[in-house]
Amino acid sequence: MKMENQENQTLWETVWSEANRRFGEPLPAPVAERLQQERDWVEQGGYTEQLFELTRLATMAQKAGCPVTVRDVGASLVAFFAGLTEINPLPPHYLCPHCRHTEWHDDGSAYIGLDLPEKACPTCGALLAREGYRIPAESFFRQIGPGSHRFVVNAAADMQPQLRAFLDSLPNRPKTALRIFDEGEKLGALRKLQRATGVPVREIPPQDSALLAHALPQVASAFLRKLFAVAPPQKLSDCIRLYGLSLGQNTWVGNAEEWLTCHACSLTDVVASREDLFYALRDRGVDPERARAVANAVSHGRGLTDEQAAVIQSAGLPGRYVESCRKIRYLSPKSLAVAYALTDVRLAWYQLHFPAAYAACTRAGQRL
Ligand SMILES: [Zn+2]
């Protein structure tokens, strides 16, 4: 993250300069449009100052060698470029690290960027990066709403006095104070492992099939291991779906578990997160507003009206889709499933490649 000049930059200067650093100038249309849309909403919602302070806080913590994460921003491209989340919410795309060539795949053919096949840059021959978790901007703003959201910062316990002192020193501190929470055992263990092994967390390959098949169950919860037994994950997108299912209510038991066990469908066809349902409809030509209304209703367990069931059927989705949606009591946001999956995949990687360091950093290797 290039943030050296940030003291003198506004939030928007920081965000746009990071966007240009990654994507070049002018920005590709999907990036420029998304940033402008989010900027409008952030300003209308009254969050500019809060996000700016979070950005300064994150930069300060990074410099002190103790990175923080911010909850509830995993669906925001502004937050991604500001360094507040590592989840890039853009549609799946190729990006050339050398000449900035991009190719976009927002038709549902890829769940996340890593589902795209490996490919060389048609312009300069370099291996293209495959990025984007495909989370629409609306997910972020639906989650925070206008004006009153309090963002939660996860930080290590030993870093908290410093962070609080920084927050207290801010002039014109808005009434909506930021809350700081202990980062939790898993994120704390990752930070220690990064320091102990010298391997940066973000450089861990998240798509190694042997890792997902054998090491991931060692660090995942007992409930997730049941899901892995029915639908063994082969790639990161499988993991994200399984974590999404585990975070929902009435999404697995009596629902996806049954369909998958009797081979009525595969993991790619289940409703694992709010965004899955939204995109399943939108990719089949349903008007985005309508698709969003159906996804919202199902996500919060409100079931389906007859009209909404008809929308699903007329989109060409199988009958079990309606049945499945009617059972769901709660659907997780995709950003949360991505964050949880990445955390466990990384812990599994350290455990596989640095077992001694893993044992030392996780209270004698206990399951977290
Ligand atoms: Zn290139």
Residue 3: band (very low, low, confident or very high) from pLDDT cuts 50, 70, 90: very low
Q: Are strands 129-131 and 102-104 parallel, antiparallel or unpaired?
A: unpaired
Dihedral (Cα; 56, 190, 215, 74), 10-degree rounding: -20
What pLDDT does residue 60 have?
86
* pLDDT value of residue 196: 96
- CA atoms within 13 Å, Cβ hemisphere of 293: 11
Residue 266 has pLDDT above 50, yes or no: yes
State which residues form the domain around 81: 6-89+135-183
The alpha carbon of 235 is separated from its chain's Cα centroid by a whole number of angstroms, namely 16
Q: Over the chain, what is the mean pLDDT?
A: 91
**pLDDT higher than 70, residue 80:** yes
Q: How far apart are CA 87 and CA 161, in angstroms?
A: 27
87/81 Cα distance (integer angstroms): 10
Distance 203 CA to ligand 1 centre (A): 21
Per DSSP, 368 falls in state: -
Ligand 1 center from residue 147 Cα (angstroms):
42
Given a contact cutoff of 8 angstroms between Cβ atoms, the answer to whether 23 and 95 are in contact is yes
pLDDT per position as a tens digit, 142-173 = 777 777 888 888 888 888 888 888 878 877 66
Residue length of the chain: 368
- Model confidence pLDDT, tens digit, residues 165-203: 887 887 766 545 667 888 888 988 998 999 999 999 999
Say if residue 93's pLDDT is above 60. Answer: yes
Ligand 1 centroid vs 345 CA: distance in angstroms?
A: 29
- In angstroms, what is the span from residue 33 Cα to ligand 1's centroid? 23
Q: List pLDDT tens digits, range 304-329.
A: 999 999 999 999 999 899 999 999 99
The CA 239 to ligand 1 mean position distance, Å, reads: 30
Residue 39 within a domain? yes
Distance 96 CA to ligand 1 centre (A): 5
Q: Distance from the CA of 125 to the center of ligand 1, in angstroms? A: 6
Q: Say how many Å lie between the CA of residue 17 and the centre of ligand 1.
A: 20
* 59 domain residue, yes or no: yes
Domain contains 127: no
Angle at 295 between CA 294 and CA 298, to 5 degrees: 85
> What tokens appear for 288 in the block?
């985005």
Contact status, residue 304 vs residue 297, Cβ threshold 8 Å: yes
Calculate how far, in angstroms, residue 21's C-alpha sits from the geometric centre of ligand 1: 15
Ligand 1 centroid to Cα of residue 93, in Å, is 14
Asked whether residue 28 is assigned to any structural domain, the reply reads yes
* pTM, to two decimals: 0.93
The alpha carbon of 35 and the centre of ligand 1 are apart by a number of angstroms equal to: 24
How many angstroms does the Cα of residue 94 sit away from the middle of ligand 1? Answer: 10
Alpha carbon of 103 to ligand 1 centroid (Å):
11
Q: Tell how far the Cα of 154 is from the centroid of ligand 1, in angstroms.
A: 37
Element (H, E) at 154: strand 152-155
In a domain, 204, yes or no: no
Q: 44-75, pLDDT tens digit by residue?
A: 998 998 899 889 888 888 888 777 888 889 89
How many angstroms does the Cα of residue 124 sit away from the middle of ligand 1? 4
CA of 97 to the centre of ligand 1 (A): 7
Amino acid residing at 328: I
pLDDT at position 213 over 70: yes
**pLDDT band of 364, cuts 50, 70, 90:** low
Neighbours of ion ligand 1 (CB under 5 A): 96, 98-99, 101, 121, 123-124, 126
- Residue 355 resides in a domain: no
pLDDT (tens digit, 9 = 90+) per residue, 274-283?
A: 999 999 999 9
Can you name the residues that pair with 155 across neighbouring β-strands?
Answer: 182
> Cβ distance 127 to 116 under 8 Å?
no
Q: Ligand 1 centre and the CA of 127: distance in Å?
A: 8
Does residue 293 lie in a domain region? no
Ligand 1 center to 101 CA (angstroms): 5
The answer to whether the bond into 92 is cis (omega within 30° of 0) is no
Element (H, E) at 152: strand 152-155
Measured in angstroms, how far is the CA atom of residue 128 from the centroid of ligand 1?
A: 7
Residue 360 lies in a domain: no
Tell me the CA–centroid distance for residue 100 and ligand 1, in Å: 6
Count the domains in the chain. Answer: 1
